[in-house]
Structure 1
Amino acid sequence: MGLARQIEKNWYGRVLGNAWLLPLVPLVWLVVTLKRRRFLRNPPAASAIPVVVVGNITVGGTGKTPLITYLVARARALGFNPAIVSRGYGGNGQYPLLVNDETPVSACGDEPKLLASRLNCPVAVDPQRARAVAELAGKADLIFSDDGLQHYAMARQREIVVVDASRGFGNGWLLPAGPLREPVSRIDSVDLVLANGRDFRVSATALVNAKTGEVCDLATLNNTTVHAVSGIGNPQRFYDTLTELGARVVAHAFPDHHAFAEQDFDFPQASAGMVVMTEKDWVKCRSFAQPDWWYLAVDAQPAAQAAARIDELLLSLKRF
């Protein structure tokens, strides 16, 4: 196991495994605390369009992308014209960048490309998120920021923190000894905390052919060997979903936001089986996808109480 993976494993175990990193924690605490205090003393000027940040205080995947998909659909149902801003992790385009069908993933990043193609709403990418917000003037009346909770240069009207119910806050320590970007007390200041696995669940809705777009029944996976390919922050949830659907999973985990190439799929012939990936990974592989490659489409399904709280938060922005 590589050093980085061992450190991450210890984030969700005993902090003593990362004891050698503990001297760096006070420095991280000082930086994040001063950054937060500076924002509270001198907040950026409010944008003309209300911004809802959907972020987390831990490193790694918590289910933000499917939740944002739900939030956009729900905002539309409530009469909003929503849009999305993103840092565009892994992208190298000219910013600010409005994502469209012709925008390559290499320019905008995987999550913005997925959200734009899935939702057909304006998606603006810029490492300076405030500039992305400004780019959407006249194109929307509500903006969701995909991540960016700690990007204090961007004004926001509401904050939603997403937590993985199974992993929680790990060992409870700040980076690099633990997975926290900010102290756990930060959630006391946000407007809504949603736990993936309790307040909402990310459920598979379809198995889609990566090359043709053919939709196949999920029952196809039952008693089938699949090469489960993932380049996401918390791949175990993806593998567990496939297992629950009856698949025999051969896991192929790559780093989060991995830039896939054809050779990444050169699996041993002795372990034949269909290839199944996440939708976020598919957008990076669609140009060289093969007929036996598939992706799992998923949606966030909130519990009744969480859905009511989401509606209340969104409707509170009608006055802006």
Structure 2
Amino acid sequence: MSRFDLRPPAFWFAGQPGLAACLLWPAARVTAAITRRRIARPGWRAPVPVICCGNLSAGGTGKTTLALDLLARLKARGVAVHALTRGYRGTASGVLRVDPERHDATLVGDEPLLLAAVAPTWVGADRAASARAAIAAGAGCLLMDDGMQNPTLVQDCTLVVIDGATGFGNGRVLPAGPLREPVEAGTARARAAVLIGPDRRGAATGLPPGLPVLRAGLAMAPEAAALRGTRLLAFAGIGRPGKFFDALRALDLELVAAHGFPNHHPYRPAELARLRNQAHALGARLVTTPKDAVRLPAAFRRDVTALGVGLLWADPAVVETLLDEVLEATGTVPRTGKPRR
């Protein structure tokens, strides 16, 4: 079992580091040192641009949501973009191109199935090996979902994704806090930060003065509006299930029950039976996230409504300009001509 399978401890997100964080400080120094040495290793430079949607914190910050948004934008420009991801909790070994018709979440993980619905997607722990396979298959641009701390592939543009509700937590590195590496170390390699949601923890104030901050909110899929007047039982096994539940409530949907599970949770038959029975008793419809839906057995999935979210950018032109700069700097011109502005 991974150390990230369980829900994060509350002291990670306390205003100031408490006793537990202080006691774990020596272990945090070891984590930071190991990460620093790993990142310092030389990686392979691909002949096509590499964009990484990464983060500094463990857990759900919105990396995949950003990756899906950028994949769609790059495809709209005519760029032959492929996605690279680790395939967390999948059993596949080596490098594998995801085929949503043949592969399931047990084999490739849940997030790769979402990415593969938008663009060709490759899973593999070695990002350089995945990159070579993608380029051989015709990729003209690579977009990494996670992997900011993976040194095997040189990144032309690293975007640090920040959840506005949790920020950088108590500011400490694992296991004393939620950070994979110190903020100053990670942001030094970033092209920009992407802040999703209101900055309730003041994360932007801890960023380098010259680092651009792109701001966005979450917008629920339009079909959610059709559920007004319907009693809903929501469940989610994502980094922060509460984000999904809050998004439903923000649309004035009638949420009669909500159940949160750990990120990437493999739903057991008994758990699904309890959810189904409670929904029946409450006269409610089951709703979950697309990431959860791909982990459900097909028979159960038919009785569940999956509601996704997208990014609502404060200034979409800034995102397009960033993509322009990355593509032009690496000499990438889409098949349809000059990148759209």
Normalised-by-shorter TM-score class? 0.7 to 0.9
C-alpha displacement at 1:15, in angstroms?
4.8
Q: Contact 1:75 / 1:314 at 8 angstroms: preserved in 2?
A: no
1:171-320 matched pairs, under 5 angstroms: 171-185=170-184, 186-197=186-197, 199-207=215-223, 218-249=224-255, 250-265=257-272, 266-267=274-275, 268=278, 269-285=280-296, 287-289=298-300, 291-304=302-315, 306-319=318-331
Structure 2 CA distance for aligned equivalents of residues 155 and 10 of structure 1 = 34
Structure 2 CA distance for aligned equivalents of residues 39 and 176 of structure 1 = 19
Scaled by the length of structure 1, what TM-score is found? 0.86
C-alpha displacement at 1:264, in angstroms?
2.1
Cα distance per residue 1:52-104 (max 9 Å; x no partner): 11110001111111211110111123331100111100100132111012112
C-alpha displacement at 1:219, in angstroms?
2.8
* 1:83 alignment partner, SS class: strand
Q: Contact 1:86 / 1:125 at 8 angstroms: preserved in 2?
A: yes
Inter-CA distance 140–246: structure 2 relative to 1 (3 Å threshold): same
* 1:289 alignment partner, SS class: helix
The answer to whether structure 1 residue 125 and structure 2 residue 132 are counterparts is: no
Structure 2 CA distance for aligned equivalents of residues 65 and 276 of structure 1 = 20
The answer to whether structure 1 residue 87 and structure 2 residue 86 are counterparts is: yes
Q: Contact 1:15 / 1:177 at 8 angstroms: preserved in 2?
A: no
Structure 2 CA distance for aligned equivalents of residues 154 and 36 of structure 1 = 16
What is aligned with 1:215? none
Structure 1 CA distance for aligned equivalents of residues 94 and 86 of structure 2 = 10
Q: Kindly provide the amino acid, as one letter, of the partner of residue 264 in structure 2.
A: H
* 1:189 alignment partner, SS class: coil
Q: Contact 2:48 / 2:142 at 8 angstroms: preserved in 1?
A: yes
C-alpha displacement at 1:248, in angstroms?
2.8
Scaled by the length of structure 2, what TM-score is found? 0.81
What is aligned with 2:339? none
C-alpha displacement at 1:28, in angstroms?
3.1
Q: Contact 2:48 / 2:330 at 8 angstroms: preserved in 1?
A: no
Inter-CA distance 151–234: structure 2 relative to 1 (3 Å threshold): same
Inter-CA distance 109–115: structure 2 relative to 1 (3 Å threshold): same
C-alpha displacement at 1:152, in angstroms?
1.4
Aligned residues: 302
Gaps of 5+ in 1: 208-217
Inter-CA distance 313–107: structure 2 relative to 1 (3 Å threshold): farther
Inter-CA distance 91–290: structure 2 relative to 1 (3 Å threshold): closer
Q: Contact 1:230 / 1:252 at 8 angstroms: preserved in 2?
A: yes
C-alpha displacement at 1:38, in angstroms?
5.6
What is aligned with 1:55? 54
Q: Contact 2:39 / 2:149 at 8 angstroms: preserved in 1?
A: no
- RMSD of aligned residue pairs (Cα, Å): 2.2
Moved over 6 A (4+): none
Structure 2 CA distance for aligned equivalents of residues 79 and 56 of structure 1 = 27
C-alpha displacement at 1:290, in angstroms?
5.3
Structure 1 CA distance for aligned equivalents of residues 226 and 75 of structure 2 = 33
